[in-house]
Structure 1
């Protein structure tokens, strides 16, 4: 025991406070302190989902009360204009930049993360995400859209990628007995970031709004500072287990084809050479494309399908509503979007935890097959005029969208092992970047084509739902062909030991709990969970309060 203790005390000479060797857990450390650290970072970067709350105020950043409209404005001239207000469509490109650079950064720097450790990656994420928001604030002050795109979109998107994958490998190693639950706990924070950040942003914008300012740049600065504190605390809360550690009393499951859980490891440089990697990539891309399409059209979809029904005027279509009535149903639709966000969060934890019992492949079969049924029946629910059934269907769909993100790291660990799972996960997130383009483009162009063809607004989404169901059917095929890897792809025990030697040279032949991982909900863990739990509960309360109008 003493030999093992000397190895992971983290006090060796020349080891910096940010180095991976410094954060190896000591005896007595409680593994339940790691998920709140991950949540602290994910709840901050998850505000990317809520950035649409800034679009309308920014579209009148010059005019304040009414937008200053320029007839000859296009995307290129919008980047540099100082006399015209930006269009919502120009601002909306930042959403695309977020997820393109999230996936790209995760793929490019995933290998570096495995070498540098989660603390460095978490702090790098903080610098990029919060620094990007500060640069975007300067872009608002100077009215330079290109500076906003560069700051929040590009630099911030890189921060999203680093922050998103920073806890994945760490949590899987801390919870080999509950891989799905562990990643679900952390990744649900990304889905919950907007639920907390959007109402906070609204409060701050209302506080800072004046006759000369819509209050957005000040909101960016304050939120960047708050996020910097939370993300720094989260990064310094990360610890990694020593090599050979396992939970006390836990024995790795037998390596059987039925279980599809390997105890061996595939090197990062080989993972993308396997058919299984690209099959799982396709499964994630297709599942996410369908879900992102729904998220992007949630608010207009509800308004155009149910229109006057939402305010007790069932005979009025969307085009027959006056301005005040459209404002009223827009508020109800905002509650619908918030409710979908809540389903997204809960689904990340629920489905990932369930996957520990039914297996990752079966969990994805559930997402895909149940999703096909729900998408195919959604038009029927709409034509029946059943708001409750319609909302419930899309709530389940969004829970599986979030569950897909939370389950995929454990799926990868089952197939490729845990040694490089963070970096492999980073490369797989290029599927998200692809889906961020495919999903909205498919949905938006089909909608525009239907409207141009004279299809009533209440029916323009019918064909879209069938297309999304077809995409999920392709996902079923890809998931079917996922099989355990052949032996040739796995590294030998000696090769794995040599890779681990830098952080645990004297432990390569030892296995055990080393007195680490006990504690449960002790005092420190209670404080950590309270720190992240209170904002989550507040966000849930605000969401449910807004959603009440949907069924009122």
Structure 2
């Protein structure tokens, strides 16, 4: 039976954005913090723990459900994500209505987090297969939706809480996200086996995938990939990039007021603009990686951030301080968006979703480490300077890893070309 009608790959990309812009609303969690505190008397740290649990389960679900995504395809995986995230949101409304913090942890944190993890990886491996010619751009588009979501969701949540209350906000958003994610999931599908985008021939596609000097390094399963040095190099680079970025997100407002002497209002505006750089950084850096290569993009991230973190504690000028923060946020977003294409380059597309899931455990670990490190050191020293210098050291390690991974790639390319030369 022949393929009925070929789906539009740009609509597939938009369906991916539909899922990511829904689950990305998790970045707006802090908007619920004060209203929940005023209504129930729960402490800020107890309420913030909901977000940490959600990010932890995101990483765990991405790791453990990656094989499910590969086996059952993006449509079924998207629907599972929709059900978990939708019920998580609606359950959070129920938890609020009866004033039970542990139910909130279960519904929004654990169940919602599982929906986040599956939803995050579901469209990515599909997009890489639909865009063999522009891997970075395609994955950057979807993951940009995740970064931008809080820009849209935060003011909407604030307005809804004021008008209809916390519980009804959860119920309404849960229903809206359910419809948006469900309809997006139904359109998702992998491309036909011999799909070739316009302007590219089948020979060119095969050449791009199999070229020993420029194509995918190998076609590995997830369990084979985990045993390689380059898998752990990617893991370490993502872990350091996310740990330092997420820590800055967690303390951006008080740090701006403390170091650069900004007012609370100006710092709040800066936090909003950070969302733009987080979002645009995902699309911009991922697109640039299509032209200069993923290894060069990651090395650039770390060079820029070493400079930014060294300068941050000593900058009293508010404009320069904000520029440094925005550079860090663009690299933070870019790291997420470039990693799926980098995985495709190094391990092929055979089980990209499962490998991406394993790599995202770095995000779960970073979500627990980053914010707690920066807040504890600040409480102990009454300064952000020591943390910034520790992060600078971490980025030096990341830079070294980004250079060493090139040696590993070069060695494997040479090993790949030797048999080809021998046979010719």
C-alpha distance in 2 between matches for 1:345 and 1:33: 20
Residue 476 in structure 1 maps to residue 410 in structure 2: no
**1:332 shift after superposition:** 2.7
2:421 alignment partner in structure 1: none
SS for the counterpart of 1:418 is: coil
Corresponding residue number in structure 2 for 1:520: none
Q: 1:257 and 1:368, CA in 2 relative to 1: closer, same or farther beyond 3 A? A: farther
Q: Which residue of 2 aligns with 1:293?
A: 247
1:469-508: per-residue Cα shift (whole Å, max 9, x none)?
1111111121222233859x99xxxxxxxxxxxxxxxxxx
Kept in 1, the 8 Å contact 2:259–2:315? The answer is no
Indicate the SS of the match to 1:481. Answer: helix
CA drift at 1:258? 5.7
- Check if 1:248 corresponds to 2:198: yes
1:387 paired with 2:315, answer no
The superposition leaves residues 392-414 of structure 1 with CA deviations (integer Å, 9 ceiling, x where unpaired) of 11101100100000000000000
Look up the match of 2:352.
421
The corresponding residue for 1:302 is 256
Indicate whether 1:202 and 2:158 are aligned: yes
The answer to whether 1:105 aligns with 2:61 is yes
Q: C-alpha distance in 2, partners of 1:350/1:143?
A: 43
* Cα contact 2:144–2:283 (8 A) shared by 1: yes
| Other-structure match for 2:169 | 219
CA distance in 2, matches of 1:162, 1:127: 11
Shift in Å, 1:334: 1.8
2: distance between equivalents of 1:464 and 1:109? Answer: 34
Q: State whether structure 2 residue 36 is matched by structure 1 residue 58.
A: yes
Q: CA deviation at 1:100?
A: 0.7
**For residues 263 and 89 of structure 1, do their structure 2 counterparts lie closer, same or farther at Cα, with a shift above 3 Å needed?**
closer
Partner Cα distance (2:302, 2:198) in 1:
36
Q: Give the whole-Å Cα distance in 2 for the aligned partners of 1:287 and 1:468.
A: 9
Residue in 2 aligned with 1:439?
Answer: 370
Q: Secondary structure at the match of 2:227?
A: coil
1:332 aligns with 2:266: yes
**TM-aligned CA deviation for residue 264 of structure 1:** 4.5
Partners of 1:440 and 1:139 lie apart in 2 by 26
Partner of 2:8: 30
1:48 paired to 2:26:
yes
Structure 2 CA distance for aligned equivalents of residues 171 and 388 of structure 1: 38
User: Helix, strand or coil for the counterpart of 1:413?
Assistant: helix
Give the Å deviation of 1:239: 2.3
What's the offset of the Cα at 1:257?
6.5
CA spacing shift, 1:106–1:377, aligned 2, 3 Å: same
Is 1:165 matched with 2:121? yes
Partner of 2:148: 192
Following the alignment from structure 1 to structure 2, what is the Cα–Cα distance between the partners of residues 298 and 477?
27
Q: Does 2:385 correspond to 1:462?
A: yes
Residue 244 of structure 1: CA displacement? 2.1
Is the CA contact (8 Å cut-off) linking 2:217 and 2:346 kept in structure 1?
A: no
Give SS of 1:166's match: helix
Out of 329, 349, 372, the position equivalent to 1:398 is 329
Which runs of 4 or more aligned residues in structure 1 lie more than 6 Å from their structure 2 counterparts after TM superposition?
A: none
User: Structure 1-normalised TM-score?
Assistant: 0.72
Alignment match, 1:506? none
Following TM superposition, by how much is the alpha carbon of 1:330 offset from its aligned partner in structure 2, in angstroms?
2.8
Q: Which of 89, 100, 108 matches 1:144?
A: 100
Tell me how far apart the structure 2 counterparts of residues 402 and 139 of structure 1 sit (CA, whole Å).
32
Contact preservation (8 Å) 2:302, 2:396? yes
- Counterpart position of 1:114: 70
Indicate the residue corresponding to 1:501 in structure 2: none
TM-score, normalised on structure 2?
0.93
CA contact (8 A) 2:21 2:145 kept: yes
Provide the aligned length of Structure 1 versus Structure 2: 407
- With over 3 angstroms needed to count, the CA separation of the structure-2 counterparts of 1:373 and 1:255, relative to structure 1, is farther
Q: Supply the distance in 1 between the matched residues of 2:312 and 2:254 (Cα, whole angstroms).
A: 15
Distance 2:210 2:313 in 1: 44
Secondary structure of the residue that 2:216 maps to in structure 1? Answer: coil
Instruction: For residues 95-120 of structure 1, give each alpha carbon's deviation from its aligned partner in whole angstroms, at most 9, with x where no partner exists.
Output: 11111110100000100101111111
Q: Deviations over 1:409-461 (max 9, x none)?
A: 0000000001111110011100001111121122111111112xxxxxxxx11
Aligned to 1:239: 189
Q: Work out which of the two has the higher radius of gyration on C-alpha atoms and give 1 or 2.
A: 1
Q: Distance in 2 between matches of 1:299 and 1:127?
A: 35
Give how far 1:267 is off. Answer: 1.2
Secondary structure (helix, strand or coil) at the match of 2:39 reads coil
Aligned partner of 1:343 among 241, 262, 277: 277
Partner of 2:422: none
Structure 2: tracts of 5 or more residues without a match: 417-424
1:230 counterpart residue number? 180
Distance 2:8 2:80 in 1: 25
Distance, in Å, in 2 between the alignment partners of 1:486 and 1:390 is 42
User: How many Å separate the matches in 2 of 1:295 and 1:234?
Assistant: 29
Q: Deviations over 1:276-301 (max 9, x none)?
A: 11111001001111101100111111
Q: Deviations over 1:239-274 (max 9, x none)?
A: 221112222342133756764x31741012211111
Instruction: Tell me which residue corresponds to 1:324.
Output: none
Residues 190-248 of structure 1: CA distance to partner in whole angstroms, max 9, x if unpaired? 1111111111101101112xxxxxx1111111111111111111111212211122223
Bigger shift: 397-406 or 130-139? Answer: 130-139
